[in-house]
Amino acid sequence: MSNLLAQRRAGVLLHPTSLPSGRLDADVERWLNFMRTAGLSVWQMLPLVIPDHTGSPYQSCSAFAVDPALMAMPPESGCGAHELDEFRERERDWLLDFARFEVLKELHGDVPWHDWPRAYRDRDAQALASFDKQHAAALGWVIEQQFLLECRWKEIRGECAERDILLFGDMPIFVALDSADVWAHREQFLLDEQGQPTHVAGVPPDYFSATGQRWGNPHYDWEAMQQDGFSWWKSRLRRQLDWFDIVRLDHFRGLVASWMIPAECETAVDGYWEDTPGEAMLKVLREAFPDLPIVAEDLGIITPDVIELRKQFELPGMAVVQFAFDAFDDNPHKPRNITEDNVVYTGTHDNNTTRGWFDELDQGSRDFVYQLLEAEADEDIVTLMIRRTLETKANLAMLPMQDLLGLDASARMNTPGESKDNWYWRFDWDDIDPETIARIRSIIEKTGRLHES
């Protein structure tokens, strides 16, 4: 296990768009001061990429680029022409192609790249060289935006280090079809000659959905990736670890097997499992990044081979206390079953807030919650859930900001399967008072998670 993940800490889950300003401005310094005072030493966020039209950061036009909407003003860090040239060289694996993709999308009315004129769709070298000359200014501005974001983030990383706060990022396993990643690396994906996927990702039918889930992401050509030493994955993780101390790998079970849905199928019913070379990839990533500070998102129906792969590489898994309340004694989310090699949450960004979740339960279910948590029914449910989460053996406990503030369902970040009214919640500085800070710090200290450098 990574040394960073072997220490007992408490952190907070809050995407930067949920700061009062929604940007990486002076709110960040105020936020970090709140965290430090409250005893929170890990800041987890969702992917910092450019979100899709619904606001979701899990379907982005780039797995590498940061959302320019997060930038409020140029940083005061003395970044100049020399540093910009260094940035261009260091990020050459993705930066120019991302800039081309953004400018081409704008010029073609935002249609998907596979509907562009063939010369651009198929990346004709002569056409791209001419395009680069003709649109040098526009390309330069896209690149400069990413550079300014990089400069600002260096400031933030330094401020976190001063306060002994770790940064915890998020990396979805799949990427969007209409993305610079797929356009620039068609050979790494299962696509036809027109750039359309032959198979798409999803999950099979289960208790919750008779037709499964058809996500639509193109599948990787794992054979091609393995032949070139997983170079795209190494570049991707290197980029993440430039920004974060810890990275969550979403849908970790996809490194064991993926649900392959033929592209012509409208649902996930006719898909099939296909093995993926996750072990080979993780070996390569461990050679490149020996500490490998990855958290495996292993929620849902997980088979023994997924657990075996996670443990082979000593990666922490995840536990969610909201999932604890059933009749099965071996439920891994029950507080007494949560082990050190897990990151435990009251709930994640896909869950309702703890108060919202509890409000929706019937009286019998509420009684069972208190019974399992071994508490009196008059105790505030949010405070109780936070305390039980922090009391578990998990080395790292993460608390959504909505729960730290005791908010109801109106503060929910995301409802899976719904495309409206997600991702836009923000707190207000008036929501935080000295009493709230003292209460949080007290629980963190009593549960042995107050991390003093």
123 falls within a domain: no
104 falls within a domain: no
258 falls within a domain: yes
Counted domains in the chain: 1
Residue 292: give its domain's CATH number: 3.20.20.80
249 falls within a domain: yes
Q: At residue 208, does pLDDT exceed 80?
A: no
8 falls within a domain: yes
CA distance between the termini of the chain: 20
* pLDDT above 90 coverage of the chain, percent: 91
Give catalytic residues, as residue numbers.
250, 297, 350
Per-residue model confidence (pLDDT) at position 18:
98
pTM (two decimals): 0.96
Type of residue at 397: A
Q: At residue 220, does pLDDT exceed 90?
A: yes
pLDDT tens by residue, 433-442:
999 999 999 9
Q: Which residues of 121-145 are buried (b: 16+ CB within 10 A; e: fewer)?
A: beeeeeeeeebeeebeebbeebbbb
Per-residue model confidence (pLDDT) at position 213:
86
283 falls within a domain: yes
> What six digits make up the tokens of 438?
């003292």
Q: At residue 320, does pLDDT exceed 90?
A: yes
Q: At residue 10, does pLDDT exceed 70?
A: yes
> What six digits make up the tokens of 136?
């040098």
Q: At residue 75, does pLDDT exceed 70?
A: no
Q: Which domain holds residue 201?
A: 3-66+163-446
> What is the rounded CA–CA span in Å between residue 306 and residue 52?
30
Q: Which residues of 275-304 are buried (b: 16+ CB within 10 A; e: fewer)?
A: ebbbeebbebbeebbeebbbbbbbbeebee
Among 91-105, 106-120, 407-421, the range scoring the smallest mean pLDDT is 407-421
Residue 96 pLDDT level (bands cut at 50, 70, 90): very high
Per-residue model confidence (pLDDT) at position 451:
85
| Mean local confidence (pLDDT), 123-136 | 98
What is the chain's mean pLDDT, rounded? 95
297 falls within a domain: yes
| Mean local confidence (pLDDT), 158-169 | 97
Residue 80 pLDDT level (bands cut at 50, 70, 90): confident
> What is the rounded CA–CA span in Å between residue 18 and residue 349?
12
Type of residue at 106: E
* pLDDT above 70 coverage of the chain, percent: 98
